[in-house]
Chain A
């Protein structure tokens, strides 16, 4: 049901991956994503998969969770794979032909590569959110973006908006559950009927949900003002982010592996 959503969930722990500086983790994750699209051959992606597998092991995140977080985006993966399969044309003769559909060996290759890429993309970014609490994540984003503050960009405010948004996801899920039950008790039919009927059936859920979200926002703003919140200027932190030697060492190791993955491009050009 609605409570099964795992994307963006945090799993507390005390592994090496958990303890890394969140800024470092964000940068490395971003590097990893870029790399996934740079690696244009199976060898590189195999290496990238192995690297991620090891990191998941170190972080002690059960593999079941990855499967769970991949479920909702399965349609996107399938769509991409099918699209690549049918629309990439290669030189040689097609492997398979049926009417206007022609499947080439290149198409199969790209389809598999794209599928693996998207899976790794989700699994990689999930690792970041699994091992980093939302608070330290936004903290890190704020620090990483702090140079923009000089250009009068409200970096602190944006980070605060993100923290609040993340904080309210579970609350709103719970609220939705409650409202759904209340309307079901009044005979609402949510899971049957035509598409139009189903959309109509959502109205009794969405309106109370919006009303309560606005009420909560109002209450929270009031509570923040009561505690003299006035934005980021001159605000000090309970937990100062400091890069340690472990962070730099991990950065170095990851960079070497990243370089290795990239280098496979040169090795497997023939494939």
Chain B
């Protein structure tokens, strides 16, 4: 599969030339392949938000290049809007960007900006609403009447309706209750499976990353510290802890078990897999006895 996003020596310095210039990301080189579900983790201030703001041209790299779908993003700055439709970005707390009279109109804002036909817009709004579990009654309501979780879903639907090839979400579940959290993330996962859209998920919850991401980018001090499959990343628990990050609870338990001298694998990061390994170990033990 081809790389949908490719960064070459990507660097961003805030306030370059000023005495208080700060390097937010430094010399990043990586590729994200089409159709992947990539998790992006890193402690606060590690450059995650700066990086994702580059994906659709909100920020311009100070030096280095970013290729989306094989095209240099900043070759012609006037064409940057094209990339904004190619890469959909859902910011933190996106519910604060809602403004239309009805939910329906708000979801249609992005597609309208794309200059699509009214039928196409209506169809996209319907589909995005369905994906985000927004029923037809809610579509007619004002976005300001909804609950926090509902607003969040409307905002995400507003980006999904643009049908971007890459969907980037900055902590889409922050501040929601456990049920709302699971709802939103599993909807995104379902959307990813159904449409094969590339998804980049920024999260501070290792559990969520473990549950949903196939690959993980770990950022530390403006650089990419690791980029690998999820199980390989969480097998390096010690390094993650040193960066002020963490590993899922279940991985912690398995690491403790290993410390106690029990022979278990270290790349356990989801509950189903943990259950499987424990059952396998138990079966092996009982089998040995008999």
Give the interface of A toward B (CB within 8 A): 178-179, 181-189, 203-204, 207-208, 211-212
Judged by a CB distance under 8 angstroms, whether B99 is at the interface is yes
Q: Are A208 and B99 touching (Cβ within 8 A)?
A: yes
Q: In the complex, what residue of chain A is closest to B95 when comparing beta carbons? A: A208
- Contact across chains for A182 and B91 when beta carbons are under 8 A apart: yes
Selected from B81, B96, B158, the residue in CB contact (under 8 A) with A189 is B81
- Indicate if the CB atoms of A204 and B88 lie closer than 8 Å: no
The reply to whether the CB of B54 lies closer than 8 angstroms to some CB of chain A is: no
How far, in whole Å, are A187 and B56 apart by their CA atoms in the complex? 10
Encoded as 1 (CB less than 8 Å from any A CB) or 0, chain B from 17 to 45 comes to 00000000000000000000000000000
- Of chain A, the residue at the smallest CB distance from B90 is A185
Q: Describe B's contact surface by its main secondary structure.
A: helix
B119 at the interface (CB under 8 A from A): no
Task: Name A181's contact: one of B58, B158, B162 (CB within 8 Å).
Answer: B58
* Residue B113 at the chain A interface, CB threshold 8 Å: yes
State which of A181, A187, A189, A207 has its C-beta within 8 Å of the C-beta of B99: A207
Instruction: Report the nearest B residue to A179, measured CB to CB.
Output: B97
Q: Kindly provide the distance from the CB of A191 to the nearest chain B CB, expressed in whole angstroms.
A: 11
In order of increasing CB-CB distance, the 9 nearest A-B pairs are A187-B113, A207-B99, A182-B97, A186-B110, A185-B89, A204-B99, A181-B58, A182-B91, A208-B99
Given A181-B58, A204-B109, A207-B99: A187 and B81 interface contact (C-beta under 8 Å): yes
* Interchain CB contact under 8 A, A185 and B96: no
Q: Which residues of B contact A184 (CB under 8 A)?
A: 58, 84
A181/B91 in contact, CB under 8 A: yes
Output the least CB separation between A264 and chain B (Å).
Answer: 40
The answer to whether A187 and B96 have CB atoms under 8 Å apart is no
The yes or no answer to B254 lying at the interface (CB within 8 A) is: no
Say yes or no: B96 contacts A179, CB within 8 Å. Answer: yes
- The range of chain B's interface size is 20 to 34
Separation of A182 and B99 alpha carbons in the complex (Å) = 12
Contacting pair B109 A186 (CB below 8 A): yes
Q: B98 — which chain A residues lie within 8 A by C-beta?
A: 208
User: Is A187's CB under 8 angstroms from B114's CB?
Assistant: yes
Q: Which of B89, B96, B114, B159 is close to A212, meaning CB atoms less than 8 Å apart? A: B96
Interface core residue of B94, B97, B159, B162 (most chain A CB under 10 Å) = B97
Contacts of A212 in B (CB 8 A): 96
Q: Are A186 and B99 in contact (CB under 8 A)?
A: no
- Contact residues in A for B109 (Cβ distance below 8 Å): 186, 204
Contact B162 A187 (CB under 8 A): yes
Give complex CA distance A199, B173 in Å. 33
Compute how far the CA of A187 lies from the CA of B85 in the bound complex, rounded to whole angstroms: 7
Q: Cα distance A211–B81 when bound, in Å?
A: 27
Contact B81 A185 (CB under 8 A): no
**Given the interface contacts A178-B91, A181-B58, A184-B58, does A189 sit within 8 Å of B113 by beta carbon?**
yes
**Known A-B contacts A178-B91, A181-B53, A204-B109; A186 and B162 likewise in contact (beta carbons under 8 Å):** yes
Q: B117 to nearest A CB, angstroms?
A: 16
- Interface residue B227 (Cβ < 8 Å from any Cβ of A): no
- 19 example contacts (A-B, Cβ-Cβ < 8 A) are as follows A178-B91, A178-B96, A179-B97, A181-B53, A181-B58, A185-B56, A185-B88, A185-B91, A186-B110, A186-B162, A187-B84, A187-B114, A204-B99, A204-B109, A207-B99, A211-B96, A211-B99, A211-B144, A212-B96
Q: How far is the CB of B142 from chain A (nearest CB, A)?
A: 11
Q: Per-position contact with A for B69-89: 1 when CB-CB < 8 Å, else 0? A: 000000000000100110011
A182-B97 Cα distance, complex, nearest whole Å: 7
Residue A185 contacts which of B99, B114, B144, B159 (CB distance < 8 angstroms)? B159
A187 to B113, CA, bound (A): 6
